[in-house]
Amino acid sequence: MMITKTIDGITFTLKKEFDFRFLAEYGTVFVVFESQDSGYICFGVQNDQRKLFIKVAGVATVYSNVSAHIAISRLQATVSIYEDLRHPTLIGMIEHKEIRGGYITVFEWFAGDYMGRQYDSFEKFIALPLD
């Protein structure tokens, strides 16, 4: 059984119900990236000051094949990497925290191409020269 959710007019599908009320503190959802195979679901959110990218672990997404616990552990493990890699030319992590039933990382928004295998732009990304 699939669950259809709509937040701020944006509709997406999950395997199980999840409480996304925390998103409202960041602004209005304008896009959702639900096709992640990593066990995450991601949102583009806009408020009066800026746009944000919010990565959420712990949600039973349709395409995920990992448990909520594993997805949460993996996202928590990336926090120190993001902090170590902090640089003015890279997208900055604004915050990370536990939420009810999951964990989130919040980043500055950057309009660009998607790098995941499930997106059309993957081949373009893979074709880039290593240098």
**What DSSP element (H or E) covers 70?**
helix 68-84
d(CA 26, CA 39): 22
Mean pLDDT, the chain, integer: 88
Does the residue 131 lie in any domain? no
Q: pTM of the predicted model, to two decimals?
A: 0.85
User: At 40, is the pLDDT very low, low, confident or very high (cuts 50, 70, 90)?
Assistant: very high
Task: Give pLDDT, residue 92.
Answer: 86
Among residues 77, 70, 76, the alpha carbon closest in space to that of 99 is found at 76
**Residue 95 placed within a domain:** yes
Domain with residue 40: its CATH number is: 3.30.200.20
Q: Helix, strand or coil for residue 65?
A: coil
| Domain residue limits at 30 | 3-126
Q: Give the tokens for residue 57.
A: 């672990």
> In this structure, what token pair is assigned to residue 36?
């992640």
pLDDT digits (tens, 9 = 90+) for 44-96: 999 999 999 999 999 999 988 889 999 999 999 999 998 998 888 888 899 99
Query: Taking the alpha carbons of 114, 31, 103, 87 in that order, is the dihedral positive or negative?
Result: positive
Residue 119 lies in a domain: yes
